Amino acid sequence: MSWSTAEIPDQSGRLALVTGATSGIGYATALELLRHNADVLIAARNPDKAAQAAAELTAKAGKAPETIELDLADLTSVQRAAEQITKTHDRLDLLVNNAGVMAPPYRQTLDGFELQLGTNHLGHFALTARLMPLLQQADKPRVVTVSSFMHKTVRGIGKSDFTAENGYRKWESYGKSKLANVLFMLELSRRAGDSLISAGSHPGYASTHLQAAGPELAGRQLQARLWAAGTRLVAQSAAAGAWPSLYAATLPGLRSGAFVGPGFLGYRGAPRSATPTSTAQDPELAKRLWAWSVEATGVDAF
């Protein structure tokens, strides 16, 4: 199957929120949505980076995004961001849960959760729940949750993983956070029924700053530079990595529960339907994860 961003339908009148949109896949996603006439909110932790990204996006797209301060590793920040959006907008047509961290040294969120699961899953779970009233005001609301093929590297997830009670292994934790993304996406689809489309995507292997961020947090600058150089050699661009997200966000008639990834061996190329692991499709595990997430965040979408 071939596909390009030229096939994205006109997005006029559609309000979209993209998390992690100051660089990489989130930036590329926001850019194409703006180019196709959507009104776009870009949510980011650093206001200065958000302002710089907004200026660049405006110059490239000819349409200015709105910036929202959001730290997904702080549930109070999630609440503030949702309240700000609710005060200034009467609906939300599209939420792209894109932001994430990958393989950092052990860190905790401000609420005491392991950083990767706390940011990649719990932060987005809380954001989606708090924005659900706005999503439900839209005519055809859609939530796209960005996962990774790394969800295939783990065989389960437990409540204790939220706090790394049994020890911390950075790549295992990353895989579990990405497994949580798929479980959440599919459970949201089941619970929402016909009231919204919940879809998932993964970018394959895309060249972004994410690969170097973990070593940088650990103070390993040489390792970070090597990661970045190696990634540039073998990975597809961040713009191509955004294609599955854009496909899931804009394809007319997309079924709820769809999972989209690159077509060539799941690593690069035009987007197509992908299949999550059997663990990621386990509805009983998804129900348990949902209940743990409600307990951890204090909010529920359905």
- Catalytic residue check, 174: yes
Q: pLDDT, tens digit, for every residue of 243-283?
A: 999 999 999 999 999 999 998 666 778 999 999 999 999 99
Active-site residue identified among 27, 148, 173, 174? 174
Q: pLDDT, tens digit, for every residue of 91-139?
A: 999 999 999 999 999 999 999 999 999 999 999 999 999 999 999 999 9
Report the sign of the C-alpha dihedral through residues 216, 51, 61, 197, in that order.
Answer: positive
For tokens 């987005």, the residue is 124
Model pLDDT, residue 233: 43
- Catalytic residue check, 159: no
Enter the tokens of residue 244: 């599955």
Model-level pTM?
Answer: 0.91
For tokens 């796209």, the residue is 144
- Catalytic residue check, 49: no
Q: pLDDT, tens digit, for every residue of 265-274?
A: 667 789 999 9
What is the residue extent of each domain of the chain? 5-205+238-295
Q: pLDDT, tens digit, for every residue of 54-81?
A: 999 999 999 999 999 999 999 999 999 9
Neighbours of 225 (CB within 10 A): 13
The yes-or-no verdict on residue 210 having pLDDT over 60 is: no
3-state secondary structure 112-160: CCEHHHHHHHHHHHHHHHHHHHHHCCCCCCEEEEECCHHHHHCCCCCHH
C-alpha 207, offset from chain centre: 16
Enter the tokens of residue 292: 């743990």
142 beta partners = 94, 197
For tokens 């994860």, the residue is 289
The answer as to CATH 3.40.50.720 being correct for domain 5-205+238-295 is yes
Active-site residue identified among 77, 147, 245, 256? 147
Active-site residue identified among 148, 178, 198, 245? 178
